[in-house]
Structure formats: C-alpha cells, structure tokens
Amino acid sequence: MFRKNSFLLAIIVIGLIACTSKKEAEEAAKKSPTPSEIASKQPEVHGTEVKDVELTNPLNQVWVEAGKKNYDLKCLACHKLTDEKLVGPGWAGVTKRRQPVWILNMITNVDMMLDSDPEAQKLLEECLVRMPNQNLTQAEARELLEFMRRNDGEK
C-alpha cells in the first residue's frame, strides 16, 4: 500500500513539475508580463490629496457593486460592515461620522493622513496598526464611498 502510494505520489510530483506541454508553457510565458512590464503598470497613488467630493442621489448602483468587490478583496480583512472593531473600526455609520473628503484621503492618501490629521492619528493610537495603503485609485475609492453610503442605509 505504502509503495503504491509513493509510486502514485511520484507520478503526481513529476506531473506537477512538468505537467504542461512545451507549447502550452511557451504560450503561457508569452502572455505573462515581464517584471519590467509589471513595474511600468504600477499605480502610484501616494500623495495626491483629494480636496473635493461630489455626492449625488440616488446612489450610483454600478459604483456600489464595484465598491463591494474591492471591499471583499482589499478591506474586509480588517473592517466589518457592523460597528464592531476588528483590526480597524467597523464601517457602520462611517459616512455620518466623517466627511467624504476625509474618507477618500484615508483610502488613497493614508500616509499623509496619519502624518497630519488628528482624527486619523487618534485612530492609529487605538488600533496600533497603520492602515495599509491598498493602492486604490481615486475612482475606486469613490466607488467604495458609494458602497459605504449604501451600508449606512442610503438608497
């Protein structure tokens, strides 16, 4: 039994190491961007301060959906949608407590906020983890804000 298993295992291991045909590998390699291409596509969103945000009613549903997607990918690990604090504060009520500009700057320009904004600094003292810059664009941050407004009951 053991021998049979190790034989199977060997086959699987060999398969894992060289499971793709040469052609497939070459095709895949062609499609895969080189590190230099990756480097040239890096969004750099540090340091542009958001000064003005326009809110519209009713909510933009496309933005709400897009915002939720990014919430699942980049925010949910630390922020709940209730008022419970996890790593960072829960999001319930955040759009009532904070100005839209403050929220957008916290998302896209967190280093500036932690350096200069007293409210942001207060949160750092409570949470002790610097909020990561998750490299969202201003447009993506605006979509997230729409999702937060929905979370706070706006329609």
Partner 1 sequence: MKTKLFSLQIFVGLLIIVLTLALGCKPQNPSTAVIGDAAQKVYVAPGQYDEFYNLVSGGFNGQVSVYGLPSGRLLKIIPVFSQFPESGWGYSEETKPMLNTSHGFVPWDDAHHLAFSTTNGEHDGRWAFINGNNTPRIARIDFGSFRTEEILEIPNSSGNHSSPFLTENTEYAIAGTRFGFPLDDAGSNPDVPIDSYRENFKSVVSFVRIDPESGQMSMGFQLLFPGMDFDLSKGGKGPSHDWAFFSCYNSELAHTLLEVNASQKDKDFIMAVNWKKCEEYVKAGKGKVLKSRYAHNLYDDTKHQANSVIETETIVLDPRELKDVVYLMPCPKSPHGCDVNPTGEYIAGSGKLAAVVPVFSFQKMLQAIENKTFDGEYEGMPVLNYDAVLHGEVKKPGLGPLHTEFDDEGFAYTSCFVSSEIAKWNVKTLEVVDRIPTYYSIGHLMVPGGNTAHPHGKYVVAYNKITKDRYLPTGPELTQSAQLYDITGGKMKLLLDFPTVGEPHYAEAIPASLVKDRSVRFFKIEDNQHAYAAKGEKEAKVFREGNKVHVNMTSIRSHFTPDNIEGVKLGDEVYFHVTNLEQDWDVPHGFAIKGNDNAEILIMPGETCTLKWVPDKVGVIPFYCTDFCSALHQEMQGYIRVSPRGTNIALSYSTNKKPDSESK
With respect to partner 1, which residue has the nearer C-beta, 59 or 76? Answer: 76
With respect to partner 1, which residue has the nearer C-beta, 27 or 49? Answer: 27
Using CB under 8 A, which of 32, 51, 58, 118 touches partner 1? 32
Footprint (CB under 8 A) of partner 1, residues 59-78: 72-74, 76-78
Please give the DSSP secondary-structure letter assigned to residue 71. I
Footprint (CB under 8 A) of partner 1, residues 78-97: 78, 86-87
- 3-state SS assignment for residue 95: helix
Using CB under 8 A, which of 25, 55, 62, 139 touches partner 1? 25
Tokens at 65, concatenated: 């959906």
Burial class (CB in 10 A: 0-12, 13-18, 19+), 10: exposed
Instruction: Answer for the pair 45, 55: CB distance below 8 angstroms, yes or no.
Output: no
Distance CA 102, CA 51 (A): 9
Please give the residue ranges that form the binding site for partner 1 (CB under 8 A): 16-18, 20-22, 25, 28-30, 32-42, 72-74, 76-78, 86-87, 128-130, 132-135
